[in-house]
A and B are shown apart, each in its own frame.
Chain A
Amino acid sequence: MKDFLINLDRRIIFIFVAVGVILPALTTFPLPIKPTPNVRAVYDTIEEVAAQNGTVLISFDYGPGSMPEIQPMTLAVLRHCFSQNVKVVGMCLWPQAVGLVQQALDTTSKEFGAQYGTDYVFLGFKTGATSLVINMGRDFHGTFPQDLQGNTTTDLAVTKNISGLKDFDYVVCLAAGNTPDGVWIPYGQERYKFKFGIGCTAVMAPDQFPYLQSGQMNGLIGGLAGAAEYEKLINTAGTATDGMRPQSVVHLIIILFILLGNTIYFLYDRKKGGAK
């Protein structure tokens, strides 16, 4: 038994994790979801933009690999914007995001009757990242003369009065890579001083906190938990809220395994130098 526990097959842990995900997904039990100040800050800013009938630029910088985490955020933020008649301009610094964003825009615009061109515009992907953001700050129409569908941006109601990044009331970056701190903050926010908030994968979240403290971003939606908090704020439970049950159960399983592993290590195996 002692040897079995010390050299526990990792596949046994995988089975526990799989059961911990599947069983809570099949059933339902209430778990409290309390929006944190960082998530609420993004929500509140969009409410402020709604009050002044403003426009939000959302940069969707993710792909299918991070879809389970970021797509619920995309849906929640778009639902919030469309429900409050906030105009949305979408763009992508990642080419893989285009199809996912188009899907999300189609779903949410139908739900709230948002019209393309008057309520939202999708610019699609454009290469360049840093130079693209710098150029967007100076000359929006020069950088994006056309949207994804080939319409001229100077003719579309949402974009015709946008001359640069400063004209957006809020810029939100929903990202799975380094675009918030590697592109948008140094080349956009620091230079053009617009209000900036992000939604990102949980892996990225700890690295973003210094930018919150410095005020370079005013809000942060971190991972699936952040998306669930946003869903709570807009009173629309989605996949993120449903995902909190398995997430919580598996976190408990992992904590138990960490405690078990350390206990066994200290009881039996410390002097021998660990598992074989």
Chain B
Amino acid sequence: MNRDKILFLAFLGIFAIINIYLLATNSLPTDSTGFGTIVAAGITLSLYSFLYKDNPLFKFTENLYVGVAAAYTMNQVWYTVLLADVLNPTFNLNNQTGGTNEWLLIFPVLLGIFMLTQLASDKINWLSRIAFAFVVGLGAGLAIPRTIAANVLAQMQPSMQPITADLAGFNLFVILIGVATVLIYFFYSVEHTGAVGVASKVGIWFLMISFGASFGYTIMARLSLLIGRVGFLLETWLTLQLPLF
């Protein structure tokens, strides 16, 4: 038996002993809440076991999560979309539309079904192109003007304000230099030598600072998730009254 197998069995054994102790001392209730807490703790520890090495527990938990998430999403979509927005109004199942059936809803439903024919045989999968054409056309029509307005024009406007002799003006100046030099860095039609080379190097510095800020925030985010799980393990599973000292 190699070291990994011993560690694996030891982990399972310690986990079982801790849970038996928690249940025996009534720290965890012997009902569905207690069982749910034990399952959640086990899943959390199984996922973090990947930090040591890839292992069967991690694989099992990863696949379990995908399955549960898909089932939960299907459940939500069924009750809040398919049933509430399609079946009930189309066939007037809950009699809330004044006794009328909204037959027009059949057309978008048909488009949805056409999309699924992509998974069917070659004889009928051409129908999916109608649905995709509709989605692409609608998506482009909605996205292009909205994206230009919100993400380009509205973003350019504050960068083009008059630079004043105060802190706000200085900030604006820094942003202006950043925008101009980063744009020069990504301008590949001119060789990056001389003044253009200097400007593109300044652009690289702005990009590096931006990546650093993003990385710092990413560390904070990932740690927050770890802190959340550790808090769950200590307080909810092990039922410790924090702070201990």
A contacts, CB < 8 Å to B? 11, 14, 17-18, 21-22, 25-28, 63, 65-69, 95-96, 98-99, 124-127, 130-131, 134, 145-146, 148, 152, 181, 185-187, 189-191, 201-203, 205-207, 210, 213-216, 222-225, 239, 242-243, 246-247, 250-251, 254
Contact = CB atoms under 8 A, between A and B. Distances in A.
Contact of A98 (B76, B138, B218): B76
A95 B73 contact: yes
Contacts of B225: 65-66, 68-69
Interface stretch (B56-64, B126-134, B154-162): B154-162
Contacts of B221: 69, 201-203, 223-224
B163 interface: no
Specify the main secondary structure of chain A where it touches its partner.
helix
Contact of A21 (B77, B80, B218, B227): B227
B76 A26 contact: no
A224 B150 contact: no
Contacts of A145: 96
Given A26-B242, A131-B142, 18 more contacts: A25-B231, A25-B242, A27-B243, A27-B245, A28-B243, A69-B225, A69-B228, A95-B80, A125-B80, A126-B81, A130-B143, A146-B84, A146-B96, A148-B80, A201-B224, A205-B217, A242-B242, A251-B220
Given A21-B227, A68-B227, A201-B221, A130 B142 contact: yes
Given A203-B221, A206-B213, A239 B228 contact: yes
A22 B217 contact: no
Contacts of A185: 150
A148 to B, nearest CB: 7
Contacts of B180: none
B51 A11 contact: yes
B interface bracket (residues with beta carbon within 8 Å of A): 35 or more
A243 B73 contact: no
Given A214-B154, A214-B158, A243 B227 contact: yes
Contacts of A134: 142
B149 A202 contact: no
Contact of A216 (B96, B154, B226, B245): B154
A225 B219 CA distance: 12
B223 interface: yes
A187 B142 contact: yes
B175 interface: yes
B201 interface: no
Give the residue among A126, A202, A224, A247 with the most B Cβ atoms within 10 A.
A202
Given A126-B81, A127-B81, A206-B210, A25 B147 contact: no
Given A14-B51, A239-B231, A246-B230, A223 B150 contact: no
A242 B84 CA distance: 41
A223 B217 CA distance: 8
